[in-house]
Amino acid sequence: MNDADENPLLTRKGEIGLVRYQDFDYDDPFTFEDGQTIPGFRLRYETYGRLNKKRDNTVLICHALSGDHHCAGVYSIRDRKPGWWNNMIGPGKPIDTERFFVVCSNCLGGCQGSTGPASINRETGKPYNLDFPFVTIGDMVRAQKLLMDHLEIPELHAVVGGSMGGMQVLQWAIEYPSYVRRIIPLATTSRHGAQSIAFNEVGRQAIIQDPEWRGGNYDPEAGPKVGLAIARMMAHITYLSDKGMERKFGRRRRDGGDINFSFDVDFEVERYLRYQGQSFINRFDANTYLYFTRALDYFDLPATYGSLEAAFRDVSAIALVIGFTSDWLFPPEQNREIVHALLRQRKHATYAEVPMDFGHDSFLVDAPNLYRLIMAFLWEQ
Amino acid sequence: MNDADENPLLTRKGEIGLVRYQDFDYDDPFTFEDGQTIPGFRLRYETYGRLNKKRDNTVLICHALSGDHHCAGVYSIRDRKPGWWNNMIGPGKPIDTERFFVVCSNCLGGCQGSTGPASINRETGKPYNLDFPFVTIGDMVRAQKLLMDHLEIPELHAVVGGSMGGMQVLQWAIEYPSYVRRIIPLATTSRHGAQSIAFNEVGRQAIIQDPEWRGGNYDPEAGPKVGLAIARMMAHITYLSDKGMERKFGRRRRDGGDINFSFDVDFEVERYLRYQGQSFINRFDANTYLYFTRALDYFDLPATYGSLEAAFRDVSAIALVIGFTSDWLFPPEQNREIVHALLRQRKHATYAEVPMDFGHDSFLVDAPNLYRLIMAFLWEQ
């Protein structure tokens, strides 16, 4: 029996199996919303399934703050950790790769292969670091559109994403109205509110005030690991829910016994959070964290377009907006508002509020009722 | 016109005016729940109003994590910042100093004059730092009881406090049932849950991982100021509410203009949070922050006594428990649970849920409907 036999992610029916990423290099100048221009950029992306002859079966996936282009499948026969939305994407899954051509790219400004602050500035031969332009949700989407053009995709069957991904989904429908037929924004908002800005600011301060940040010019191997871990630990709490954490951890002790009277890990939830912080610093760039949180903060459709209704004036996509009852970062109301504004503009839009206890991260969780909603909406003629 | 004329906190009718603190030195050994003993301790405290002849009119105030003994009045004619509950305590106010003798002490383990980790260990001549015993809510209350004995107070008319103060209030009623006639715990819990432990852990890690923490042995003038500020900024968000922050700050820019594309303060809420962090580090000790957050984490009446009902078995105080609709740190349910357990034990208990948008900190806010509840309960025969 070889490794491949043992890896259910390769052999199990309905799994997408081995995947690989590709790079799209755009070699013309690209100007950001902040007015700055870079001479070109790279987007790292993956595709699953096949583009049909009519080239009308593409589903674009947009990732959240800490996500990337690798949303399904595994990279090798030994790889036991599939892409971040592997439960949603694959043959026979809600986003069915037997029917759809699925594309996902690491956002512009990212740190998983796409051009971002850690990339080399061709003009200086050094990393951009804080010289990288401020990237907005709009910039991310315009870069993705250039990738779609490169792939010669004339229209999108759907754009789907949660959280920061959901913001991109909305931006797609607004910016390229005739290009997008369906949108599914999940657990998102049309306007980043005060509490969310506040949490982001604490995370940024944890990074910026870490002496290892060095004004953003840290050694890629070192960097503000303490600050980034703190930022991630805190943010991770905001992705869960009180009820979900209570059920998963409660006050369970790490060692199962009595309290230890210690500042070391005493409760299981502490061990879990520290693990989240530590694993994050091994895969994520601190400056990208700063840039992406700012992209979230600056997202405000009502202000940008005058009102949310005005933002949606030209939208032609039909919309399924999904909120989660236990999401307190982008709570149901904020998702409902999106649908209400679409409906006031006489668009085809519907809202589903899914009762799940996993908080903001509910959109990532294995949940048949969520799958059925998405599958039905994507397949409907 | 002199300064005193200009200071409304001195001249306005109904203000308590000038106050001063006192110190209670307990010179016998005191053993903590963790088994460690210190040779004695100091509690800094304040009193307002007069003890009546029957010595039965004392209202004890218990403070929250970042509070102290100075809960009413001002220290000098130039002092424009009164104690933290000055709106609640004073002549004619809900906790009426014309009727009640009000006492509040800085908790054991604190950093505002009471013995805590920054105090000198008589046996070594150096600060305790992490050699200070772990202090529990029970330890805080037993130390307060020694102060009550010192003041020759034979019984308490009431014990009142919010958040960590509310935990002490519950502990008082349980530990000294025949001594306490009324309790008013506000915005509190009988059992610190997973989410609250998680937020505390992030704050502790921000402090402990700050290189200036130096294993707890920092210079009192230096110390982990960055980590403590981060901890405070994060915690401060948990004391507010989404709705309250939205109304107070929304997405208002600091300079009133467009976004600046900057990691400096761009939104007003960022300026506010940074200010909260900076002002905290000037008045609070990082090690006390570690100890007090652990005291919160370790508070679990159901586990300590077998069940919440068992914890309340011998309580004879009548109880008014107050929860706030927008408090998501210790939400209404957790306050309601306390009353339900008291009622199941056939105690006199009632619950008031006050609709306020200020989150956990609602108990500190100027609110006539809250005042009326407290005043009526304290005055009732």
Contact call for B208 and A249, based on CB within 8 A = no
The whole-angstrom separation of Cα A69 and Cα A71 is 6
Name every chain B residue with its beta carbon within 8 A of the beta carbon of A202.
Answer: 230, 233-234, 237, 273
Name every chain B residue with its beta carbon within 8 A of the beta carbon of A246.
Answer: 193-195
pLDDT of B295 strictly over 50: yes
Residue B188 · residue B157 · CB < 8 Å: no
Residue A109 to residues A134, A191, A286, Cα–Cα distance (Å): 8, 20, 12
Question: Which run of H or of E encompasses B323?
Answer: strand B318-324
State the best of A261, A300, A328 to mutate against chain B, taking most chain B CBs within 10 Å. Answer: A261
* Phi, psi (rounded to 5 degrees) for B352: -125, 130
**Quick one: DSSP state of residue B106?**
P
pLDDT of A1 strictly over 50: no
* Average pLDDT of chain B, as a whole number: 96
pLDDT of B4 strictly over 70: no
Name every chain A residue with its beta carbon within 8 A of the beta carbon of B237.
Answer: 195, 198-199, 202
Among B285, B367, B266, CA closest to B322? B367
The whole-angstrom separation of Cα A88 and Cα A43 is 23
Give me the pLDDT at residue A2, please: 56
Contact call for A205 and B233, based on CB within 8 A = yes
Among B150, B168, B156, CA closest to B41? B150
Residue of A nearest to B291 (CA): A263
Residue of A nearest to B247 (CA): A194
> What's the topology of domain B194-297?
Rna Polymerase Sigma Factor; Chain: A (1.10.1740)
Which string of DSSP letters, residue by residue, matches A117-183? TTSEETTTTEE-GGGSPPP-HHHHHHHHHHHHHHTT---BSEEEEETHHHHHHHHHHHHSTTTBSEE
Give me the pLDDT at residue B7, please: 86
Residue A259 to residues B50, B68, B207, B302, Cα–Cα distance (Å): 42, 27, 21, 14
Task: Count CB-CB contacts under 10 A for residue A322.
Answer: 26
Q: How far is CA B28 from the centre of its chain?
A: 26
Residue type, position B160, single letter: V
The shortest CB-CB distance from A230 to any of B191, B230, B269 is to: B230
Among B352, B351, B342, CA closest to B315? B342
Q: For the segment A325-336, what is each residue's pLDDT rounded down to a tens digit?
A: 999 999 999 999
Residue of A nearest to B328 (CA): A242
b/e per residue A108-129 (b: at least 16 CB within 10 A): bbbbbbbbbbbbebeeeeebbb
Q: Is the dihedral of CA A375, A329, A360, B361 positive or negative?
A: negative
Q: For the segment B142-153, what is each residue's pLDDT rounded down to a tens digit?
A: 999 999 999 999
Residue type, position A47, single letter: T
User: B54 CA to chain A: closest CA distance, Å?
Assistant: 42
Name every chain B residue with its beta carbon within 8 A of the beta carbon of A222.
Answer: none
State the best of A36, A259, A292, A298 to mutate against chain B, taking most chain B CBs within 10 Å. Answer: A259
User: A133 CA to chain B: closest CA distance, Å?
Assistant: 9
The shortest CB-CB distance from B197 to any of A197, A208, A269 is to: A269
User: B222 CA to chain A: closest CA distance, Å?
Assistant: 15
Residue B216 confidence class, pLDDT cut points 50, 70, 90: very high
User: B311 CA to chain A: closest CA distance, Å?
Assistant: 18
Name every chain B residue with its beta carbon within 8 A of the beta carbon of A264.
Answer: none
Alpha helices by DSSP H, listed for chain B, are: 3-6, 8-11, 137-150, 164-175, 194-208, 225-239, 242-248, 268-281, 286-297, 301-305, 308-311, 332-344, 368-379
How large is the average pLDDT for residues A35-57?
A: 98
Contact call for B328 and A331, based on CB within 8 A = no
Q: Which two tokens stand for residue B109?
A: 């383990």
- Percent of all residues in chain A with a pLDDT value above 90, rounded to a whole number: 93
The whole-angstrom separation of Cα B166 and Cα B363 is 11
Q: Which two tokens stand for residue A24?
A: 């799209």
Altogether, the residues listed in chain B come to a count of 381
Q: What are the residue boundaries of the structural domains of chain B, listed by start?
A: 3-193+301-379, 194-297
Burial of B355 (0-12, 13-18, 19+ CB in 10 A): exposed
The shortest CB-CB distance from A194 to any of B193, B229, B250 is to: B250
pLDDT of A70 strictly over 50: yes
State the best of B32, B36, B230, B360 to mutate against chain A, taking most chain A CBs within 10 Å. Answer: B230
- Percent of all residues in chain B with a pLDDT value above 70, rounded to a whole number: 98
Residue B358 · residue B370 · CB < 8 Å: no
Superfamily of domain covering A3-193+300-379: Alpha/Beta hydrolase fold, catalytic domain (3.40.50.1820)
Annotated active-site residue B327? The verdict is yes
Superfamily of domain covering B3-193+301-379: Alpha/Beta hydrolase fold, catalytic domain (3.40.50.1820)
The whole-angstrom separation of Cα A49 and Cα A342 is 31
Q: For the segment B110-122, what is each residue's pLDDT rounded down to a tens digit?
A: 999 999 999 999 8
Of B163, B196, B241, B362, catalytic: B163
The shortest CB-CB distance from B261 to any of A34, A191, A259 is to: A34
Give me the pLDDT at residue A242, please: 97
Name every chain A residue with its beta carbon within 8 A of the beta carbon of B193.
Answer: 242, 245-246, 250-251
Question: Which run of H or of E encompasses A30?
Answer: strand A30-31
Contact call for A251 and B277, based on CB within 8 A = no
Residue B1 confidence class, pLDDT cut points 50, 70, 90: very low
Beta-bridge partners for B127: B120
Check if B3-193+301-379 and B194-297 are the same fold.
no
ipTM exceeding cut-off 0.90 for this assembly: yes
Contact call for B246 and A194, based on CB within 8 A = yes
Q: Which two tokens stand for residue B277?
A: 């962090």
Residue of A nearest to B195 (CA): A242
Name every chain B residue with its beta carbon within 8 A of the beta carbon of A331.
Answer: 242
Residue B236 to residues B84, B170, B206, B273, Cα–Cα distance (Å): 16, 24, 14, 8
Residue B174 · residue B341 · CB < 8 Å: no
pLDDT of B258 strictly over 90: no
User: B202 CA to chain A: closest CA distance, Å?
Assistant: 6
pLDDT of B292 strictly over 50: yes
Residue A170 · residue A266 · CB < 8 Å: no
How large is the average pLDDT for residues A10-37?
A: 96
The whole-angstrom separation of Cα A60 and Cα B102 is 65
Count of H helices and E strands in chain A? 13, 14
Give me the pLDDT at residue B380, please: 76
Contact call for A290 and B206, based on CB within 8 A = no
Residue entry with tokens 């013309």: A28
Residue B225 to residues A125, B271, B281, Cα–Cα distance (Å): 37, 17, 6
Contact call for B251 and A328, based on CB within 8 A = no
SS3 letters for A207-266?
HHCCHHHHHHCCCCCCCCHHHHHHHHHHHHHHHCCHHHHHHHCCCCECCCCCCCCCCCCC
The whole-angstrom separation of Cα A186 and Cα A327 is 11
* Beta-carbon pairs below 8 A across chains A and B: 147
Residue of B nearest to A199 (CA): B234
The shortest CB-CB distance from A198 to any of B210, B245, B294 is to: B245
Residue A368 · residue A87 · CB < 8 Å: no
Name every chain A residue with its beta carbon within 8 A of the beta carbon of B249.
Answer: 194
Question: Which run of H or of E encompasses A271?
Answer: helix A268-281
- Percent of all residues in chain A with a pLDDT value above 70, rounded to a whole number: 98
Contact call for B194 and A261, based on CB within 8 A = no
Which string of DSSP letters, residue by residue, matches A33-66? TTS-EES-EEEEEEEES---TTS--EEEEE--TT
Contact call for B234 and A229, based on CB within 8 A = no
Q: For the segment B173-199, what is each residue's pLDDT rounded down to a tens digit?
A: 999 999 999 999 999 999 999 999 999
Of B63, B69, B192, B360, catalytic: B360
Q: Which two tokens stand for residue A68?
A: 């990337």
Q: Is the dihedral of CA B324, B330, B334, B335 positive or negative?
A: negative
Name every chain B residue with its beta carbon within 8 A of the beta carbon of A201.
Answer: 233, 267, 269-270, 273-274
**Quick one: DSSP state of residue B130?**
G
Q: For the segment B314-326, what is each residue's pLDDT rounded down to a tens digit?
A: 999 999 999 999 9
